Amino acid sequence: MNCEEIKIHLIDLIDNTLPDDLRKEVEEGLAQCPDCQQEYEELKMIFQNIQKQTLVPAPKALDDNFYAFLEQEKVVSEDMNKDKELSVRNGVPPTLTTAGVSVKFLKPYQVWAGIAATVTLLILAFFAGRQTLVNQTNKEIALLKQEITETKNLVMLNMLKQESASERIKAVGYAYDMEDADKEMIDALVNVMNYDKSTNVRLEAISALYYFGDKKEVRLAMTQSLRLQTEPNLQIALIEMLVRLKEKGAMNEMERLMDNKQLPEIVKFKAAEGVGELYKL
């Protein structure tokens, strides 16, 4: 069961209305997908909050009108039964006269047609209300995700200022939890890639930026970083990432590395290999 199929059944799972075999399949899918599990927990929390809301009692005037309507319908129903009994005894098709208007009694198939129409309307109203709840829930989940992302972003930016390299590596790792990265976050990662005093932290930043390699500004920053990096392992990491991203705009920088006689042979070999791969595209 894929993520989309799991998400379709989340509300029913919370409502405890899934058949046992389907419930087991959904729960197994949740256990294998952290994203689905997180969405399930957020959705469950929202439903719990909804259930805690205090119901507002109906106004007394509305109750009075409702019960008055029931009494009126009861009188009409009693009149209909009396007229029907009289009509049957006299052999006359049953009719009802209400407020001077003569109305024939409905035949059985007409009654069932009316009931079916009423049930259909009730079902439509139920699903319309449920869809409204789902839409509202989706909006609340989106807001929660946005707040979580902003919090992680803030935590990451603060942790990047720590003296400990391990803490800065942990901070860069928060990028993998983001579905998207804003300009502030990209700029922070680029700054770490180019200027952090720890080679390991720079490597982690290169990997994190690769995660957002679909952005043009990220690929451009990684290409420009080839000119700044002096550590062979960082140069090689950038070359490999840019080749994977199929960034043909990096060919000129790689050719520059190929011609640099001061670089280790392994770096020049990787640059030449990268140019060859990109040239094929």
Last residue of a domain, one of 33, 49, 65: 49
Which CATH number does the domain housing residue 263 bear? 1.25.10.10
What is the model's pLDDT at position 100?
Answer: 44
Q: Is residue 82 part of a domain?
A: no
> Residue 252 domain-assigned?
yes
> What pLDDT digit, counting tens, does each position of 33-62 carry?
888 888 888 777 766 655 554 544 555 555
- Cβ-count burial 41-65 (b if 16+ within 10 Å, e if not): ebbeebbeeeeeeeeeeeeeeeeee
What tens digit of pLDDT does each residue of 88-137 get? Answer: 555 545 544 444 444 444 455 554 556 666 666 666 666 666 566 566 66
Q: Is residue 135 part of a domain?
A: no
Please check whether residue 143 lies inside any domain of the structure: no
User: Would you say residue 11 lies in a domain?
Assistant: yes
Per-residue burial over 138-169, b if 16 or more Cβ lie within 10 Å, else e, is eebbeebeeeebeebbeebeebbeeeeeeebb
**pLDDT number for residue 269:** 94
Higher pLDDT, 11 or 281: 281
How many separate domains does the chain show?
2
Render pLDDT for 171-228 as a digit per residue (tens, 0 to 9): 888 888 877 888 988 999 999 999 999 999 999 999 999 999 999 999 999 999 999 9
Instruction: Evaluate whether residue 133 is within a structural domain.
Output: no
Question: Is 243 part of a structural domain of the chain?
Answer: yes
What percentage of the chain reaches a pLDDT higher than 90?
Answer: 34
**Where in 124-270 does DSSP place strands (E)?**
none
What is the spatial distance between Cα 120 and Cα 64, in angstroms, rounded to a whole number? 28
Instruction: Give the residue from 41, 20, 46, 44 showing the smallest Cα distance to 31.
Output: 41
Q: Which residues of 17-27 are buried (b: 16+ CB within 10 A; e: fewer)?
A: ebeeeeeebbe
- Cα–Cα nearest to 190, from 213, 166, 167: 213
Q: Is the dihedral of CA 48, 54, 60, 61 positive or negative?
A: negative
Predicted local distance difference test score (pLDDT) of residue 26: 86
Distance from C-alpha of 9 to C-alpha of 206, rounded to nearest angstrom:
38
- What domain range is 35 assigned to? 3-49
Helix (H) or strand (E) holding 211: helix 199-211
pLDDT of residue 222: 97
Tell me whether residue 149 is in a domain.
no
Amino acid in position 168: R
CB 273 within 8 A of CB 238: no
